[in-house]
Structure 1
Amino acid sequence: MATYSARQRPRPVETESAVFAKVAALLLGILVAVLSFFSLLMWADSREARDAAAELTGATSDLAAVHNTALPLNSFAGVVPENSQELAAAHKPYDATLPPVPAGDLVKVHMTLKDLTVEIAPGVKYNTWAFDGHGAPGPVINVREGQTVEMTLTNGGSIPHSIDFHAARIAPNVAFKDVAPGDSIKFRFTASDPGVFMYHCGTKPVLAHIANGMYGAIIIQPKQALPKVDNEYVLVGSEWYL
């Protein structure tokens, strides 16, 4: 049997499996660290959204309806109110007629966002955010496939807003970014997909902006005209949360 002194003793040689195990452990540790980092970012983002929603609720308590008498927070779906005839007679509906498609290859649309008070029923007023001072929903945009839409958005309101087109194939961080009060943004997109789409404010908390009136419809007509009809109408369903 060979004997060695401490200085002469050969160094242990790692096997390939041992090296692989160390590399795998190192990579696993890096992966866990990266996942933990992104989890922390997502948690911070969700907390920021909750804080923003809470701040928005506190800062805009006037967005709740102002009415002469308290109204219950229940749905009237399928129920006809006793004063339905009175409400119908007093209500001034928007014209639902579909506007014509503008001529030319370039369609320019300019909307000014405003804080607006609307009367949604006799004696029931709601402080809302509106596209183009139109109330809710926003104005209907009607274009034809292949046209270029040039959108100019001016924020005349008191808080940041934006516009998100479901009909546009465009970088959202460029076109759909927040616009501060008093500022404007302009961008273009090609109406490439025929159909009926929604547009809405995309500023966080998104649902709060939509619920307070920031939504509308954009229609892209196909290049080959549809069969002619006598009249065309656009109806956008929505609710007010009193």
Structure 2
Amino acid sequence: MRRGRLFAVSIVCAAACAAAGKDNGNGGDPIDAPTGGGDPDSGGGGMDSSVTTDAPMADAAPVTITLTQNTGTSIGSNNSIACGNPDGTTAENSWYRVFRLADHGVVGGLRVTAVSFGVQEALGLPNVQIKIGTYSGNLVPPPAQLDTGLITPLTSATFAVPNTANTAPTSVTVPITANVPALSQMIVEIFSPDMNGTSKYFYLGGNATGESKPGYLRAPTGACATPQPRSTTALGFPTSHLFITVAGTH
């Protein structure tokens, strides 16, 4: 947080020196007689006073914000996109969203406090990783594919996704902290490992209500063979709007 400083201008006050004519008793020229001014070393009354105030202003209170590219918050029952295995489990999948801080009115850094994402289906309490980093690639206009080589990791957290066998699609919120530098492009990844042979699966949830920027999927193994993140539209699923949001302060 930038701190302002307030400075007062120095004020200098000086007493006037009065000169009085005085007869020397012989009718001679008048003699200048100091009456309290002049050289301060002589004990006169001259004053040179300066006052400087250097008082820091109080920091502004942090502003809470949620970064989202989704128009709606509902999670649909048929809007997920993921790569699966022949045994009914899910293969390795990573879902991404990239947020330009400036697009959300964040002109300084962002202090991340939580990430929320949709859960369409999950079985077996599968562990996923939430990863936060910065992305140095060009995002204007939004590309059809990202480059994972341009990601700088900041932090990550592991989360066991609750089973949805007897519940409707939902969203979950995971506490996670990260300091994202000012003017950054923050990238968020929800990583799910290959669950072949475990009887587990995870399908990240989304909706079809609209999005301001694309979401991306990377599925490097199996028949999907998508080693770099591609937008859901480029993959042929234009209405699969991945639900991933970020909460924080700035």
Same topology, TM > 0.5 = no
Structure of greater relative contact order (alpha carbons < 8 Å, 6+ residues apart): 2
Give the number of the structure whose residues are more often helix, by fraction.
1
Which has a greater percent of strand? 2
TM-score (norm 1): 0.29
TM-score normalised by structure 2 residue count: 0.28
